[in-house]
Amino acid sequence: MPKVLRIINRFNLGGPTFNAALLTKYMAPEFETMLVGGREESSEESSQHILNDLGIKAHYVDEMQRDIGLSNDRQAYKSIKKLINEFQPDIIHTHASKAGAIGRSAGIAYGKAKIVHTFHGHVFHSYFGKFKTKVYQNIERALALKTDRIIAISPRQKLELTKRYRICSEDKVEIIPLGFDLNRFQENVEEKRKSFREKYDIDDDEIAIGIIGRLVPIKNHKMFLDSIKQVLGKTNKKIRAFLIGDGEEREELKAYSTKLGLVYVNGDFEKGMKATVHFTSWIKNVDWANSGLDIIALSSLNEGTPVSLIEAQASCKPIVSTKVGGVSNIVLPNETALLSPSNCSGPFAENLLQLVENEDRRIEMGKKGWELVHEKYHYNRLVSDMKNLYTELLR
């Protein structure tokens, strides 16, 4: 039985963990998989419950952390190299940037395995300054030369990797979209909706708008808050904004809400606390949250394939998003999502306003979402695609 060593950045709540866990579980019995990754940061939600639900035991490399640190990175490299020598994989498959750099370097040194890397996103714009971005591009180009296959999770991402940033040649890139267990987003929807809206004391005529993800600069939550402020000035409808997630910008975003005159609630909520903005921190059962929301938004400056938008469509919720990364590949513009340019609050607010004012359109757009994603982004398709790729590589 061929062996696969699967390495992810860290076991935090997000798309890479879901996909790595599902592949680890369902590639068997054709492939034996060892799953390796770093621990989540203090501001992130652990994904241990995902592993527990699937019955997966992962190997933790504590030194593999998000930030660059020569001492930690060197030790992480040594730890992974030791695991490789003990496990002796036929394929080493890395997911996301840090795991890709350290894992592929160790795999190249090993020299006896096929090397595969998945770009869940990239850092080639909007993360760093020009010099640092150039350094990362050059590192990725060097690693790509020794990588047997690079996986892009959308056609747009393949275009960026091969044409815009010239990381590798087209013949080295395979497009394999993400895959999830989406059925839970269709189960007990009314019961979940009632529960969510009762917890946050949301009236029947209030419109709940949610944005789900890390509270970090690249997600551009300030533009989201700007847009909420603009919508409030143009409608008589009652709206509530939910920032579901946590991260380094939490305190700054709370201060920014105050600056805009938006009353917020931080963390735990008690009935009678009326506010426009809710900082809920992480919510593990996102299907419960999605059921209670009316519109799901994304304001990012850069994305790979945003899981929150796949889950939004699985929940039959309309989307308002910036048109970045692979977003346009996973939604139907003007049918399941209204898209606007990156970092432009005016058009984003207008799209929000359209859906706030028009309940029929919200319902119509939501219905089309499930039709789009339920097969295309199911984990069965992901597993099948990956098995075919591995078999081809080993042949």
Lowest mean pLDDT among 104-118, 128-142, 243-257, 312-326: 128-142
pLDDT of 64 over the 60 cut:
yes
Angle at 248 (CA atoms; ends 123, 161), nearest 5 degrees: 10
Q: Which of 124, 118, 185 is nearest to 148 (CA)?
A: 118
Q: Which of 161, 171, 156 is nearest to 140 (CA)?
A: 161
What is the structure's pLDDT at 183?
Answer: 92
Tell me the two tokens of residue 163: 């044409």
pLDDT of 127 over the 60 cut:
no
What is the structure's pLDDT at 354?
Answer: 97
Lowest mean pLDDT among 114-118, 227-231, 280-284: 280-284
Tell me the two tokens of residue 383: 């597993």
Q: What percent of the chain has pLDDT over 90?
A: 74
Structure confidence by residue, pLDDT tens digits, 316-338: 999 999 999 889 989 999 999 99
Q: Do 176 and 386 form a contact (C-beta atoms < 8 A)?
A: yes
Tell me the two tokens of residue 60: 């933790």
| DSSP-derived pairing of the beta strands 277-281 and 3-10 | unpaired
Interacting residues of 263 by C-beta distance below 8 A, sequence separation 6+: 257, 274, 275, 276, 277
Query: Peptide bond before 89: cis, by omega within 30 degrees of 0?
Result: no
| Stretch 42-63: mean pLDDT | 86
Q: How confident is the model at residue 208 (pLDDT cuts 50, 70, 90)?
A: very high
| Count of Cβ atoms closer than 10 Å to residue 236 Cβ | 6
| Distance between CA atoms of residues 288 and 358, nearest Å | 24
| Distance between CA atoms of residues 294 and 312, nearest Å | 10
Interacting residues of 357 by C-beta distance below 8 A, sequence separation 6+: 235, 237
Pick the CATH number of 3-180+378-394 from 3.40.50.2000, 3.40.190.10, 3.30.420.40, 3.30.1240.10: 3.40.50.2000
What is the structure's pLDDT at 190?
Answer: 97
Q: What percent of the chain has pLDDT over 70?
A: 95
Q: What are phi and psi of 7, to 5 degrees?
A: -125, 125
Helix intervals (H) in the chain: 15-26, 48-54, 70-87, 97-110, 130-145, 155-159, 189-199, 221-232, 250-259, 286-292, 307-314, 327-330, 345-357, 359-373, 379-394
pLDDT of 182 over the 60 cut:
yes
What is the structure's pLDDT at 98?
Answer: 85
Structure confidence by residue, pLDDT tens digits, 273-320: 778 999 999 998 999 999 999 999 999 998 878 899 999 999 999 999
Q: Which has the higher per-residue pLDDT, 325 or 158? A: 158
Alpha-carbon Rg for the chain, nearest whole angstrom, is 21
pLDDT of 146 over the 60 cut:
yes
What is the structure's pLDDT at 235?
Answer: 96
Q: How confident is the model at residue 126 (pLDDT cuts 50, 70, 90)?
A: low
Report how many helices (DSSP H) and strands (DSSP E) the chain contains, helices first: 15, 14
Burial 128-155 (b: 16+ CB within 10 A, else e): eeeeebeebbeebeebbeebebbbbbbe
| Distance between CA atoms of residues 230 and 89, nearest Å | 54
Q: Which has the higher per-residue pLDDT, 28 or 123? A: 28
Tell me the two tokens of residue 274: 């009326």
Q: What are phi and psi of 331, to 5 degrees?
A: -125, 170
Structure confidence by residue, pLDDT tens digits, 306-319: 899 999 999 999 99
What is the structure's pLDDT at 87?
Answer: 97
Structure confidence by residue, pLDDT tens digits, 357-387: 999 999 999 999 999 999 889 999 999 999 9
| Sign of the Cα pseudo-torsion (99, 102, 103, 104, in order) | positive
Q: How confident is the model at residue 270 (pLDDT cuts 50, 70, 90)?
A: low
pLDDT of 125 over the 60 cut:
no
User: Which helix (H) or strand (E) segment is 95 a member of?
Assistant: strand 91-95
Q: Which of 19, 67, 20 is nearest to 43 (CA)?
A: 67
What is the structure's pLDDT at 187?
Answer: 96
| Stretch 186-214: mean pLDDT | 95
What is the structure's pLDDT at 272?
Answer: 67
| Distance between CA atoms of residues 54 and 39, nearest Å | 18
Q: Do 304 and 157 form a contact (C-beta atoms < 8 A)?
A: yes
Q: Do 147 and 172 form a contact (C-beta atoms < 8 A)?
A: yes
Structure confidence by residue, pLDDT tens digits, 209-222: 999 999 999 999 99
Q: Which has the higher per-residue pLDDT, 23 or 122? A: 23
Which architecture does CATH list for 183-373?
A: 3-Layer(aba) Sandwich (3.40)
Tell me the two tokens of residue 77: 């490299």
| Domains of the chain, residue spans | 3-180+378-394, 183-373
Whether 3-180+378-394 and 183-373 share one fold: the answer is yes
